[in-house]
Amino acid sequence: MPKDILEAPETLLDIRNLSVDFRTPRGRVKALRDISFPIRKGRIVGIVGESGSGKSTVLWALLGLLAGNGEVTGGEVRFGERDLLHAGEPQLRAIRGEEISVVFQDPMTSQIPVLTYGRQMRDILYRRPNLSTAEKRRMAVEMLGKVGIPDPDKRIDQYPHHFSGGMRQRAGIAMALLTGPQLLLADEPTTALDVTMEAQIIHLLQDLQKELDATVVVVSHNLGLIAELCDDVVVMYAGEVVEAGAVREIFHNAQHPYTRALLECDPARIDDVSRKLPVIPGDIPDLTRPLSGCIYAPRCQKALPVCRETQPPDVARGEMSLARCHLLDGPHRDPDWPPPPDVMTVGQGEASAGKPARAKRDDPLLEVSDLNVQFETVGPLRARLKGLEKRHVDAVLDVSLSVAPGETVGLVGESGSGKTTLGRTVLNLVAAQSGSVRFEGREIRNMPEGRFKPLRRDMAMMFQDPVGSLSPRKSVRALITEPFQIHGITGVDLDAEAERLAEMVRLPKPFLSRYPHELSGGQARRVGVARALALNPKLIIADEPTAGLDVSVQGEILNLMADLQAEHGLGYLIITHNLPVVRHIADRLAIMYLGRIVEEGRTAEVFARPVHPYTRALVEGVPQPDPDRRRVHVSISGEVPSLLNRPKGCDFAGRCPLAQDRCRAEKPSHVTMPDGRRHACHFPLA
Amino acid sequence: MLYYLVKRLGLSAMVICLVVLVLFSLLYLIPGDPATIALGPRATPEAIARYAAKMHLDEPVWRQFLIYIGNAATGDLGLDVFSDRPVTAIIMERIGFTLALVCAGMGWAMVLGIPLGCLAAVRPNSWLDRVTGVLSVGTIAVPSFLVSIWALLIFAVHLRWLPAIGAGEPGDTADQLSHLVLPAFAIGLSWVGYLARMVRASMLEVMGENYIRSARAFGLHPQRVVFGYALRVAILPTITLIGMGFGGLISSTVFAEIIFARPGIGKLIFDAVMARNFPIVQGAVLVATGLYILVVLLSDLLIAWFDPRVRESL
Amino acid sequence: MKQTGTTRRGFLGTTAVLGAMGLVPGWPTAAFAQGGGTLRLRIDGDNNVLDPGYMTGGTEIEAQKQCLPFLAQYARAGDTFTWEPTYFVTRLEQRDATHIEFELAEGLVWSGGHGPVQASDVKYSYERMKDSDWSGYFEAMDHVEVTGERSGTIVLSKPFAPFIMITLCHGPGAVLSEKAMTEAGGKFTTQFPAVCGPYTYEATPGQRAVFSANPDWNGPKPAFERIECNVITEVKAAELAFEAGELDCTEVGADTLARYTKDMPEGTGIAVAGELQYMWMGMNTEHPKLQDIRVRQAIQHAVDVDTILQGAYSGTTAKSHGIICPGLVGQRDSTGYGYDPAKARAMLDEAGVSGLELTLRTLNNQERMLAAQIIQANLAAVGITVKVLPLDSGPFWEMGQESKGDTWQDLELWIMRFGTTPDPYEATQWFTSDQVGVWNWERWTDEEFDRLYQEGIDETDLQKRHDIYVRMQEIMENTGAYVWINHEPEAFVHSTDVVVNAAPSGELNYRRFERA
Amino acid sequence: MSVNRSDLETGLPPVDASGLPDHLAESELRESAARERREKLRLFLTNWQGLTGLILVVLFFASAIFAPWIAPYEPNTLDVPSRLSGPTWEHLAGTDQLGRDTLSRILYGGRVALKIAAIGVSVALVTGLILGMIAGLGPRWLDSLLLLVFDTVRAFPTIVLALATVALTGPSLGMVLAIVIVTSIPQYARVARTSTLSLKNSEFILAERSLGAGMTRLLMHHVMPNVVGPLMILAAMDVPVVVTVEAGLSFLGLGVLPPTASWGTILNEGYLVIRDAPWMVIAGGIPLILTTLGFTFLGEALRDVFDPRMGKGR
């Protein structure tokens, strides 16, 4: 529960007028401009913003660890009596790790791979000469135990790559807390983790903060995490603080149009399932150019002429609570701003043409049944050497699934669930061992490429990495028209086709001559869509269509996809880990766990009444962007087991709070319920 | 680790076998009678007959190959055409000189190059960095045989500081060391540059890694960060480079040994080539190549020892 | 960097037959009085086979001379070269045309307890040579009769005057201990089974050979107690080592010789061995391209020999006019042709030849490569394209021999050098009709030449001999197959602290070195 | 965070891509293709090493190609009377033993170097590219086999292999070329293979396959253009290696045959008269050093500008 705001705790760290530039070959990037906010003792402060907001730069600036081309151009950071921006290196070094410590975004790269945890943690304690090595080790073991690492006295002698992602982040937290710092900085602490793991880390941080009475700063783009974890929130946009305040104020009574828009764009906050998501149009401004007026003005729905010229005032509402907007104060004050929470301030694109008439259910476009895909993990020689009998893992196990024309099916799972493999197998990019894949009634599994090729005109795929899935040495024009060339389609004017497709995906014409690395994620995604659509396919398999996109722009792609579906009657198989998004666009959901589909049904029903405990964990695992709906407990613990150690019984048994002996002994088979939902659970939830 | 070791050893053995095959087939790719080619035109009919019997030239080629491999595996590389001494014994007499030269050359280059690269990387764009940059490029650009000639001319002939030829009085370590200085200088010089550049580049790359920032964020002492963390990772590609560079170094020793009249393997090969003493060429090339493979293997194992990921993943 | 390997056959062809060395007169007995000190020399390779029967020749002979008894050694009397008995014998004389009597000195003892040196050792040593690789040197010998413990007679199968000079003074004339040889199995390679001489021998392969004073030796003491022969393959490296002060004496190339001659550094001296070597460019008279004598004669006129002497030999060598070396009976003082490119072109036109392309084969050492390039340029000037093909000594010495493959058919031009003895007959023997395809690679035959060859051997009158040999060289020259080049000396630089002793073929005799 | 070597070498501090708001960094990159190309050119031209390299390489090509026009003398014209002349106005780099003008011979020697470099490197590059792509895309057994072959070839120290081969065949330019090609194929092949492998598993190849692109199209349109870039940079760095191998072999008398002027034969002849005419080994060494410097600088600059992540050193 959030602490009582009226307690008015003292300020531990005060950031005043901080400005940071980066010198780049293209000029100085004014990455932070005049940032001020206090961090109050004993509280969890969230800094939220999209990519490019400069939220992480704040952290590095106050630690004095900006990259070589970064430069603090002004301001001060008061930490007790000291000014961190002007402290000498030895003084800063004394503070780092001892008084201020950090939890890093990506535990994979932020822990040195060649030293054991014991060694790394002993190094952190180097300033305690009166502690013996044994004592340091004992402290480290204790701390590892505290963050929930089993067998800490054994695992301390292991290397980072021996730990799973979640464990590694726990170890990262243990390292950060080892010295008992006053201030803990956490930079996107859960971004690299799966949903179920994220919830555990959030709770761990909460518990530890309470227990150690530390002050925590969390940097994140994830509104749900901020709402669930933080007491105070600072909203940043393009290097400025646009709004700050207590968590409830921000989430229930946002003052700045950007904060409002950001919150409205979060699919997790939108209750109605409209297939259309709100979008903030435009792009973040170029910070190498001279700036004037409100930084958000070019994208703001409520922008006034004055916004583009005059710097808006910081309107304070109480201690550490402010918003920077003309609408709130001064001559341009708008008494009707902000509107009540249920009024949308951002657009959703043009109104939907409505769902096309669905084809008959008995005539599926794609029908997958009992599909199995195996991967070889060890070579025959090595297997013999190690005495392994099983050289393969089941990446996809007995999967059955169908997609009807005009239907959107969401395939949801955490990393390693085999969902991407399934998508690729359908498109014959990965060979399957058994089962069947039928497209319009025709068996296509492992069909030779020569025969399959014509079918590729009807089935297209959008890949996870928008830029990486475009051939880097080809222009957008060549990329978009490549399908015509591949399939030897003559008699079309390729230039005209390129322009038609670009227009269809709302990609401005000048972009046709660009190369993939010159595109933003959203633009590259549009190119991917255009390529997929070039030959008027009937089925599109979209792998994480919103991956790498900010909340404010992911709607653009999804809306575009929805429009195209309405227009062409496409069937979609959307592969994603993002439940809130898929909830808005999918007709049906299939939940995958460790290569198996554990539950399948209509989206609304799955969300409302999950049958499989894993589904429930997923649904509950999404942190709600509402500080009043904080979870008090985490429904599942542990992590997705490796495919190498597939449990004998139910794959989920090891983590299921309801597991019984039967679950551990016997793999549940798929059961179709009377209402058409299917599941694989011995003891389905009511 | 065991699997890794077995795999690496197996691969190295296969490469050695292929190397033998190459050396062996060279003889057969040249038109003419293998015995005459191998022994050169000076061989007497007796020697040819002896060689033919020894090499089992009446057997099918593949059997000859297997026999040669088998003999080589037991350390029998045949007999010298002229002296009838075992090739193995001749090589063993010489190999120490080459090893000493290679180790001394690489050794001084490492002692100088690695710290230079480190210092340059820790303070990029400092005067030290610039001087190192210019020096290293300068040393890389001069081929080792030019360094050998010039060093010989300047330090031995003109200044008479150091001996010009030979390997020194057997048993007199000081004398042998003084004979080692110039050749080691000549073959190691460009490696100072290589290593300094390599270490600098990989240090700079590692210094930009997240875990270095982590270490600094935990307030670790800069020395610990540079030497305990960054260098520990940055040295890995350098070890590979050194291992791979051993081959180039052996090539350099051929020149240095000829110019300084040093009785090593390189000189042995060159003299044998000139005398068309193919059993020696074959044996010495095999040994030189085997040595190189061994060093590469050792460097790989060293990396595996340094880097837990490597020793577990492969 | 090239080296000239000395091969057995090469040795036969070039230096087998010996001249004498000009610098050290006689037997320097006085010098033996003093001892001590180390002499540092160069050898160009390991002594792989010290056995005189199976050696490659070259520095092995140098070693044999230090460690084994010989019956005869070279001597010089005025301008002529001759032999003298060594102190290993008290008597060595030619009793008649086919009998040479000898008596060994008293008190000569083999090392390693192998007893005294006996006449039976001589018999054993020489008779075994008839079955060895060097049997050619003993072709004329029938057998050795042992007439006493230390005396015996060498019996020749036919009269052969040069036997003592050619064989007994040279490496093949070394005497071995029968007892030690039997123990060693009849052959040896890198260690002498038993030595009898002022030095013992020990070698570290690839590094050096060391000759140390033989404790069993009771003959005259040599000037140096210890000789270190460093293995330095490259002449250039040896020169640099000498300049770095690490050698007391070493062979030098022509250009270095010229430099020293011009500007002698302090404390340095030069020793030049005899000029008993003759070099020429040969042509294969049977080759289709060279069958026309006018073409060959055109080539004779096209080559600028004086430029070769300057360019390749820095003016250190004497111009050659034939195969008889300076100072010998029958030496010519001029040639029947001269450098005249215009005439050469005219002769080629006359022969109706144009666009001729020829291959010039040569050993790949420095001087000869330079000479070849000059010839290449000279012939290019008259419209003949020459491709220079450098060869290592092995293939080089085989290329004209019919018994060694088919290269002799393709042979066009080559640069050749033979060594000879102080007697003119020796040089002529390689060009008789029966030598075609053996050493007569030019492949011409001439009855008059063959007849004169016999007459030359039998003739004793100096003037008549002179005329015979001049005529023989004229015959050779008139075949058009020869362009005479030079008589190349063996040259050594040495510290002025030592006095050098070298055989005409370039082998140093360490025990006859002296302190200055 | 990645440290960009070009920035370091142009004197700029490392650019922090993550500290820099990545959206921003991206928008910068997105600015326009033309601007980016101009930017790369600017980076390249402001990099003094790159510029020096470019100038030296242009000099190398120009002097070799235009040697017949700029050389003051015919390289093989003898002028024995003025042999071993020191540097004078008539003979800027002196003359050799046969009175040939050293400068002219150096210029013509550049043609040999260019020939070896151009033919050797391009043949090795193309072969390596093809073999590398085959290894990367082919079945695993083929990949393993090719890797083994590459390892074997690489196991031979270049000069040592050259010696062994020349021992059998005798020296010739063709042999040098063959050895250079054979020994440099593996490094191209390995780079091509690594790139191909990483491309093979990259999403865009999968995306092309999902559109129905066949093997030929994948190779020609998508794999090759991405593999060739790094190989070209490698080739630039390989030129000096190849030129030095030729020079070294010719220096040993195992390379090109006289009277052909090559830098190696000039050094060889210079070494033989080093005490009479030391300028020959100096003059003969300079072009070798300048060429090495030029291509090394150019290659590194290209790598820094176009491919900052590519492996350093070999």
CB-nearest to B229 from A94, A112, A124 is A112
Q: Does B160 touch chain C (CB under 8 A)?
A: yes
Say yes or no for a CB contact (<8 Å) between A68 and D29.
no
pTM for the full predicted model: 0.81
Beta carbon pairs, B and D, within 8 Å: 159
pLDDT at position A235: 92
Q: Is the pLDDT of residue B101 over 90?
A: yes
Say yes or no for a CB contact (<8 Å) between D258 and C243.
no
Higher pLDDT, C9 or B275: B275
Q: Which residues of A touch D32 (CB under 8 A)?
A: 514, 518
Which site among A18, A26, A549 would you substitute to test the D interface, given the most D Cβ atoms closer than 10 Å to its Cβ? A26
| Spacing of C-alpha B76 from chain mean position | 22
Q: What is the pLDDT of residues C313-358, one digit of tens each?
A: 888 888 999 999 887 788 898 888 999 999 999 999 999 988 899 9
C370 to chain D: closest CA residue: D98
Q: Is the pLDDT of residue A6 over 50?
A: no
Q: How sure is the predictor about C394, in pLDDT bands with cuts at 50, 70 and 90?
A: low
Say yes or no for a CB contact (<8 Å) between D78 and C307.
yes
Query: Looking at the structure, do residues B25 and B125 belong to the same domain, yes or no?
Result: no
Chain D touches chain B, with at least 3 Cβ pairs below 8 Å, answer yes
Beta strands in D12-55 (DSSP E): none
C208 to chain B: closest CA residue: B166
Q: Which residues of A touch B225 (CB under 8 A)?
A: none
Say yes or no for a CB contact (<8 Å) between C236 and D272.
yes
pLDDT at position D314: 27
Say yes or no for a CB contact (<8 Å) between A482 and D208.
yes
Query: Looking at the structure, do residues B46 and B99 belong to the same domain, yes or no?
Result: no
Q: How far is A447 from chain D (nearest CA, A)?
A: 13
Q: What is the pLDDT of residues B38-49, one digit of tens each?
A: 666 555 666 677
| Beta-sheet strand order (sheet of A366-376) | A392-403, A366-376, A434-439, A442-443
Query: Looking at the structure, do residues B44 and B154 belong to the same domain, yes or no?
Result: no
Binding partners of D (≥3 Cβ pairs within 8 A): A, B, C
Place of tokens 């409830």: A248
Q: Is the pLDDT of residue D50 over 50?
A: yes
Rounded CA-CA distance A220/A197 in Å is 16
Closest CA to A557 of A529, A533, A579, A532: A529
Question: Which residues are registered as beta bridge partners of C72?
Answer: C85
Q: What is the pLDDT of residues A158-214, one digit of tens each?
A: 888 888 888 888 899 999 988 888 899 998 888 778 877 888 888 888 888 888 888
Q: Is the pLDDT of residue A48 over 60?
A: yes
Neighbour-count burial of D217, counting CB atoms closer than 10 A to its CB (0-12 exposed, 13-18 middle, 19+ buried): middle
Sequence-separated (6 or more) residues with CB below 8 Å from residue C79 = C327
- Mean pLDDT, all residues of chain A: 84
Say yes or no for a CB contact (<8 Å) between D148 and B11.
yes
- Mean pLDDT, all residues of chain D: 78
Closest CA to D168 of C407, B284, B24, B268: B24
Rounded CA-CA distance A564/A462 in Å is 14
Closest CA to C15 of C27, C25, C5: C5
Chain C touches chain A, with at least 3 Cβ pairs below 8 Å, answer no
Query: Looking at the structure, do residues B68 and B154 belong to the same domain, yes or no?
Result: no
Question: Helix (H, G, I), strand (E, B), or coil: what is residue A588?
Answer: strand
CB atoms within 10 A of CB A114: 18
Q: How sure is the predictor about A357, in pLDDT bands with cuts at 50, 70 and 90?
A: very low
Q: How sure is the predictor about B313, in pLDDT bands with cuts at 50, 70 and 90?
A: low
Neighbour-count burial of A675, counting CB atoms closer than 10 A to its CB (0-12 exposed, 13-18 middle, 19+ buried): exposed
Average the pLDDT over A121-143 and give the result: 89
Q: What is the pLDDT of residues D217-226, one digit of tens each?
A: 888 888 888 8
Q: Does C259 touch chain B (CB under 8 A)?
A: no
First to last CA, chain A: 30
Q: Is B80 part of a structural domain of the chain?
A: no
Rounded CA-CA distance A361/C257 in Å is 105
Q: Is the pLDDT of residue C484 over 90?
A: yes
Beta carbon pairs, C and D, within 8 Å: 69
Residue where one domain finishes, among candidates B26, B43, B73 = B73
Q: Is B81 part of a structural domain of the chain?
A: no
Say yes or no for a CB contact (<8 Å) between D275 and C243.
yes
Q: Which residues of C touch B41 (CB under 8 A)?
A: 394-395, 397-398, 404
Q: What is the pLDDT of residues A59-102, one digit of tens each?
A: 888 888 887 788 889 888 988 888 888 888 888 888 888 889 99
Q: Is the pLDDT of residue A304 over 80?
A: yes
Q: How sure is the predictor about C20, in pLDDT bands with cuts at 50, 70 and 90?
A: very low
DSSP assignment of B6-35, as one string? Answer: HHHHHHHHHHHHHHHHHHHHHHHHSSS-HH
Query: Looking at the structure, do residues B154 and B232 belong to the same domain, yes or no?
Result: yes
Q: Which residues of D touch B273 (CB under 8 A)?
A: 163-164, 166-167, 254
Say yes or no for a CB contact (<8 Å) between A65 and B216.
yes
Chain A touches chain D, with at least 3 Cβ pairs below 8 Å, answer yes
A215-220/A183-187 β-pairing: parallel
CB atoms within 10 A of CB A669: 9
Q: What is the pLDDT of residues C73-118, one digit of tens each?
A: 887 666 566 788 888 999 898 888 789 999 998 888 998 888 899 9
Q: Is B84 part of a structural domain of the chain?
A: no
Binding partners of B (≥3 Cβ pairs within 8 A): A, C, D
**Least confident among B107-116, B154-163, D24-33, D196-205:** D24-33
Neighbour-count burial of B165, counting CB atoms closer than 10 A to its CB (0-12 exposed, 13-18 middle, 19+ buried): buried
Domain that holds residue B50: 2-73
Say yes or no for a CB contact (<8 Å) between B268 and C241.
no
Query: Looking at the structure, do residues B64 and B109 belong to the same domain, yes or no?
Result: no
Place of tokens 């006359």: C350
**CA distances from residue A122 to A107, A131, C78 in whole angstroms, order as listed:** 18, 10, 94
Q: Is B274 part of a structural domain of the chain?
A: yes
Q: Which amino acid is at A222?
A: N
**CA distances from residue C397 to A566, B40, C12, C14 in whole angstroms, order as listed:** 92, 12, 10, 10
Q: Is B173 part of a structural domain of the chain?
A: yes
Say yes or no for a CB contact (<8 Å) between B124 and D285.
no
Q: How sure is the predictor about C372, in pLDDT bands with cuts at 50, 70 and 90?
A: very high
**CA distances from residue A512 to A543, A644, A681, B222, C101 in whole angstroms, order as listed:** 24, 45, 50, 49, 108
Rounded CA-CA distance C222/C199 in Å is 9
**CA distances from residue A209 to A171, A180, A206, C301 in whole angstroms, order as listed:** 16, 11, 5, 106
Q: Which residues of B touch C390 (CB under 8 A)?
A: none
Query: Looking at the structure, do residues B158 and B299 belong to the same domain, yes or no?
Result: yes
Higher pLDDT, C236 or C2: C236
Q: What is the pLDDT of residues A432-475, one digit of tens each?
A: 999 999 998 889 888 888 888 888 889 988 888 888 888 888 88
Query: Looking at the structure, do residues B188 and B60 belong to the same domain, yes or no?
Result: no
Question: Helix (H, G, I), strand (E, B), or coil: what is residue D249?
Answer: helix
Q: Find out whether C371 and C486 touch, Cβ atoms under 8 Å.
A: no
Q: Is B233 part of a structural domain of the chain?
A: yes
Q: How far is D18 from chain B (nearest CA, A)?
A: 10
Q: Is B170 part of a structural domain of the chain?
A: yes
Closest CA to B220 of A119, C479, D97: A119
The one-character DSSP state at D118 is: I
CB atoms within 10 A of CB B9: 12
Number of domains in chain B: 2
Rounded CA-CA distance C107/B193 in Å is 66
Q: Does B271 touch chain C (CB under 8 A)?
A: yes
Q: Which amino acid is at B136?
A: S
Closest CA to A462 of A520, A397, A400, A537: A537
Q: Looking at chain D from residue 74 to 133, which residues have their Cβ under 8 Å from any Cβ of chain B?
A: none
Q: Does D11 touch chain B (CB under 8 A)?
A: yes
Question: Which residues are registered as beta bridge partners of C229?
Answer: C41, C209
Query: Looking at the structure, do residues B159 and B67 belong to the same domain, yes or no?
Result: no
Question: Helix (H, G, I), strand (E, B), or coil: what is residue C256?
Answer: helix
Q: Looking at chain D from residue 234 to 263, which residues have their Cβ under 8 Å from any Cβ of chain B?
A: 240, 244, 247-248, 251-252, 254
pLDDT at position C472: 94
* φ/ψ of residue A376, rounded to 5: -80, 130
pLDDT at position A273: 66
Average the pLDDT over B103-109 and give the result: 92
CATH of the domain at B174: 1.10.3720.10
Which site among D78, D95, D101, D273 would you substitute to test the C interface, given the most C Cβ atoms closer than 10 Å to its Cβ? D78
Structure-block tokens of residue B221: 């002492």
Q: How far is B126 from chain A (nearest CA, A)?
A: 14
Query: Looking at the structure, do residues B67 and B139 belong to the same domain, yes or no?
Result: no
Query: Looking at the structure, do residues B166 and B211 belong to the same domain, yes or no?
Result: yes
**Least confident among A505-509, A550-554, C223-227, D166-170:** D166-170
Sequence-separated (6 or more) residues with CB below 8 Å from residue A352 = A274, A275, A276, A562, A563, A566
CB-nearest to C56 from B82, B165, B167 is B82
Q: What is the pLDDT of residues D61-74, one digit of tens each?
A: 998 888 888 888 88
Q: Which residues of D touch C243 (CB under 8 A)?
A: 275
Q: How sure is the predictor about D212, in pLDDT bands with cuts at 50, 70 and 90?
A: confident
Structure-block tokens of residue D60: 């190398």
Say yes or no for a CB contact (<8 Å) between A126 and B220.
yes
Q: Which residues of D touch A463 (CB under 8 A)?
A: 203-204, 206-207, 210
Query: Looking at the structure, do residues B42 and B129 belong to the same domain, yes or no?
Result: no
Say yes or no for a CB contact (<8 Å) between B217 and A65.
yes
Say yes or no for a CB contact (<8 Å) between B165 and C234.
no
Q: How far is B164 from chain C (nearest CA, A)?
A: 6
Q: Is the pLDDT of residue D285 over 80?
A: yes
Say yes or no for a CB contact (<8 Å) between C255 and D257.
no
A183-187/A539-543 β-pairing: unpaired
Q: Is B86 part of a structural domain of the chain?
A: no
Q: How sure is the predictor about C367, in pLDDT bands with cuts at 50, 70 and 90?
A: confident
Say yes or no for a CB contact (<8 Å) between D259 and C376.
yes
